[in-house]
Chains A and B, each alone.
Chain A
């Protein structure tokens, strides 16, 4: 049976772009996305990407006695970047060239 191909959405691709230079928090991603990422959906998308193996996360290092919940930092995985690049190539290859347009 053929193995199911991974899929990546435009939002997931954008998140991988933003995470590529360095690991970031959820709020940083929202701030860096120029309004393309929403506060209500970014955490759900990140959890889905983690389940797909596109990103990894870890809790921030905190001083002893710090109160509140620890924030979560996200990093892209090599697999996530590979899927993003592959889909980018596919999109470019399938994009309609001016000569092909009727």
Chain B
């Protein structure tokens, strides 16, 4: 039958209502009287119908109803994560590794003019990380309100694109923060007095050369790229986890969340042992992305495994009933 495979594709990619109102009449007309020109036009109809659906998906994810129900929960988690992570990071970032390998705990005041860029970089990093993890609530709440999986996917892709764009746009801010942080390390290394402004050391070639950041700007660029990609990937992974957890009720959600995170963490612990197989000791590493990706993939892989098991169990239960 003419157009059978077009029907199959359209049914697969479009919502039921869109298929019946837009694609099906076009395909029916093709079956009635159509030629090559009509075939080409139907592809265009399907593309436009798909765009129509995507617009509805975006409206469902970010529209007035979502803003009243899904987004307050998401923003609450974001605010909570942002606050907690910022406090933890404030404690960690202040520990500076001196060139001789020792860890020195610098109090805030000696950072002087470096305080502002350091804080700005830290706040941006934490906001991006918190946004990634907060997507969990977004997909969880949407799925609980019976939003189709494709709506969650489109909404998540929009958020991932936004987070990636924000991470990419703030790269100079992070770079400045890292530069000042390196200058603080170098200041202790060259024995400069604590009263010497960091901005002077940043401009000083001797001090700049002592920092890894200036010696290997290519490495920093690679890490920056991976950090930006990871921010967007975290959005996707958190959304997958949220949508998966939405399948269960009550305490089951918490138990599954703990089980998934614990399993992923345990497997992540095995990564260094596996890494040896791919990159023996002292061998050059291809890139930070390839090096860190396996550990990053553990959470989505475990989540998919839990999801697949639940789908399989549900199907068996239904078959038995």
Contacts and interface: CB of A to CB of B under 8 A. Distances in A.
A43 interface: yes
Contact size range, B: 20 to 34
A69 B8 CA distance: 12
Contacts, number: 63
B41 A44 contact: no
Contacts of B29: 25-27, 71
Given A26-B29, A44-B52, A72 B24 contact: yes
A41 B237 CA distance: 37
A25 B25 CA distance: 8
B22 interface: yes
Main secondary structure of the interface of B (DSSP, over half): helix
Interface string B99-126: 0000000000000000000000000000
A40 B48 contact: yes
Contacts of B42: 39
Given A27-B32, A40-B48, A50 B38 contact: no
B24 A41 contact: no
A72 B45 contact: no
Interface in A3-44: 25-27, 38-41, 43-44
Contact size range, A: 10 to 19
Given A40-B48, A46-B25, A57-B21, 9 more contacts: A25-B32, A26-B26, A39-B44, A43-B26, A50-B21, A67-B1, A68-B1, A69-B31, A71-B32
29 contacts: A25-B29, A26-B25, A26-B26, A26-B29, A27-B29, A27-B33, A38-B41, A40-B41, A40-B45, A41-B44, A41-B48, A43-B22, A43-B45, A44-B52, A47-B18, A47-B21, A47-B22, A47-B52, A68-B1, A68-B2, A69-B7, A69-B24, A69-B27, A69-B28, A70-B28, A71-B29, A71-B32, A72-B25, A72-B28
